[in-house]
Structure 1
Amino acid sequence: MIDPYYSSQQDSLSEHLITVNSKNVKVRSSKVEINNSPKYQDVWATVIYVLVVLITLVIAGISIPHMDTDKLCDGCKRKRNSSGNSTSDMIIMLSACLISSILFTMIYMVLMQRFAGKMIIGTFIISIILNLIYAIITFFINFIMGFVMIFFAFLYILCFFLWRSRIPFAKVMLTTVTTVTKKYPATIFFGFMGCLIGAIWYGIIGITLIASITYFNELIGGTSYVIYVFLLFSFYLSAQVINNTVHVTISGLFATYYFCGITQSGSNKIQVNVKNPTLKSFKRAITTSFGSICFGSIVIAVFQTLRALAQSAKNDAQEDGNCLLVILMCCIECILSCISDMIEYFNVYAFTEVAIYGKSYCQAAKDTWELCKSYGIDAVINDSLISNVLSIGSLTIGCLSAVIVIVIGFILGISNAISFIIYGIIAFLMGCMIFSVVAQVINSGVATTFVCLCEDPETLRYTKPELWEKIKDTYPSVLI
Structure 2
Amino acid sequence: MQPPENQSLALNGREVNIQNLPHLQQYNAKRREAKMKEIQTGVDLLQSVGIFPSRRPCQDVVWAVLFLSVVAATACFSIYYFQDIDTSRNEDAAFRDHETLNHQQVEALTAHVGRLTLAGVAGTLASLVFAFFFMMLAKACAKPLVYAALFFVPALTIVAGLVLLGLVMAREPVSVMSLIPGGCLVALGVCYASCVCCCWRRYIPFTVEVVEMVAEISNDNPCMVAVSVLGSFAAAIWVMLVAICWVGVTIKYKSDTADQDLNASEPINFAFLFLICWGGGVIHNVCHTSYCGVFGRWYFNEEGWPLVSSVRVALTTSFGSICLGSLVVAVIRMIEYAVRVAQQEAQSEGNYVACVVFCVLDCFISCIGDILEYFNEWAYVQCALRGSSFCKSVRATYALCVCNGIQYVIADLLVDSVVSLGAFMSGLVGCGMGLAVALSGLERSPDGARTGAGAGQDYAMVAIIGGFLGFFGGVIGGASAMSIFSSGTKALLTCWAEDPRPLQEEYSGIHDTIAAKIHDHESN
Please tell me the residue identity of whatever aligns with 2:410: A
Percent identity (aligned): 23
Q: How does 1:230-309 map to 2 (within 5 A)?
A: 230-260=271-301, 273-274=303-304, 276-309=305-338
Deviations 1:315-369 (A, max 9, x none): 3444444444433333332222121111111111111222122122112212333
The equivalent position to 2:105 in structure 1, one of 63, 71, 78, is: 78
Q: How does 1:273-352 map to 2 (within 5 A)?
A: 273-274=303-304, 276-352=305-381
Please tell me the residue identity of whatever aligns with 1:161: C
Shift of 1:235: 2.4
Shift of 1:240: 1.1
CA distance in 2, matches of 1:422, 1:61: 25
The answer to whether the aligner puts 1:387 opposite 2:430 as a matched pair is no
State the partner residue of 2:231: 194
CA distance in 2, matches of 1:414, 1:395: 34
Please tell me the residue identity of whatever aligns with 1:164: R
Please tell me the residue identity of whatever aligns with 1:477: A
The answer to whether the aligner puts 1:168 opposite 2:177 as a matched pair is no
Aligned to 1:358, the other structure's residue is in SS state coil
Shift of 1:406: 7.1
Q: How does 1:344-363 map to 2 (within 5 A)?
A: 344-363=373-392
Is the 1:457–1:479 contact (alpha carbons within 8 Å) kept by the matching residues of 2?
Answer: no
The answer to whether the aligner puts 1:378 opposite 2:405 as a matched pair is no
State the partner residue of 1:267: none
State the partner residue of 1:265: none
Unaligned runs of 5+ in 2: 1-8, 14-45, 166-175, 256-263, 520-524
Shift of 1:198: 1.7
Which segment drifts farther, 119-128 or 226-235?
A: 226-235
State the partner residue of 1:114: 140
Is the 1:191–1:440 contact (alpha carbons within 8 Å) kept by the matching residues of 2?
Answer: no
Is the 1:213–1:228 contact (alpha carbons within 8 Å) kept by the matching residues of 2?
Answer: no
Aligned to 1:39, the other structure's residue is in SS state coil
State the partner residue of 2:485: 442
CA distance in 2, matches of 1:360, 1:306: 25
Aligned to 2:105, the other structure's residue is in SS state helix
CA distance in 1, matches of 2:381, 2:178: 42
| Length, aligned pairs only | 433
State the partner residue of 1:50: 68
Shift of 1:231: 3.2
User: What TM-score do the two structures reach when normalised by structure 1?
Assistant: 0.75
Is the 1:135–1:149 contact (alpha carbons within 8 Å) kept by the matching residues of 2?
Answer: yes
CA distance in 2, matches of 1:293, 1:388: 25
Is the 2:151–2:196 contact (alpha carbons within 8 Å) kept by the matching residues of 1?
Answer: no
The answer to whether the aligner puts 1:475 opposite 2:514 as a matched pair is yes
Unaligned runs of 5+ in 1: 1-8, 14-29, 261-271
CA distance in 2, matches of 1:63, 1:407: 32
Is the 1:97–1:401 contact (alpha carbons within 8 Å) kept by the matching residues of 2?
Answer: yes
Which segment drifts farther, 354-363 or 135-144?
A: 135-144
Is the 1:350–1:361 contact (alpha carbons within 8 Å) kept by the matching residues of 2?
Answer: yes
Is the 1:124–1:160 contact (alpha carbons within 8 Å) kept by the matching residues of 2?
Answer: no
CA distance in 2, matches of 1:112, 1:194: 22
CA distance in 1, matches of 2:158, 2:334: 34
CA distance in 2, matches of 1:129, 1:259: 41
Is the 1:217–1:224 contact (alpha carbons within 8 Å) kept by the matching residues of 2?
Answer: no
Q: For the structure 1 residues 284 and 34, does the alpha-carbon distance in structure 2 shift closer, same or farther, using more than 3 Å as the test?
A: closer
Shift of 1:170: 1.9
Q: CA RMSD in A?
A: 4.2
Aligned to 1:475, the other structure's residue is in SS state helix
CA distance in 1, matches of 2:131, 2:273: 33
Is the 1:472–1:479 contact (alpha carbons within 8 Å) kept by the matching residues of 2?
Answer: no
CA distance in 2, matches of 1:283, 1:399: 33
Shift of 1:441: 2.2
CA distance in 2, matches of 1:372, 1:12: 11
User: What TM-score do the two structures reach when normalised by structure 2?
Assistant: 0.69
Q: How does 1:79-228 map to 2 (within 5 A)?
A: 81=108, 97=123, 101-133=127-159, 150=187, 154=191, 157-213=194-250, 215=252, 226-228=267-269
Shift of 1:99: 6.7
Is the 2:409–2:517 contact (alpha carbons within 8 Å) kept by the matching residues of 1?
Answer: no
Aligned to 1:36, the other structure's residue is in SS state coil
Shift of 1:114: 0.4
Q: Which has the larger radius of gyration?
A: 2
CA distance in 1, matches of 2:238, 2:463: 30
Shift of 1:189: 0.9
CA distance in 1, matches of 2:198, 2:124: 38
CA distance in 2, matches of 1:325, 1:101: 43
Shift of 1:402: 5.0
Q: For the structure 1 residues 472 and 377, does the alpha-carbon distance in structure 2 shift closer, same or farther, using more than 3 Å as the test?
A: closer
Deviations 1:150-208 (A, max 9, x none): 46863563344333333233223222222232222321111111121121122111221
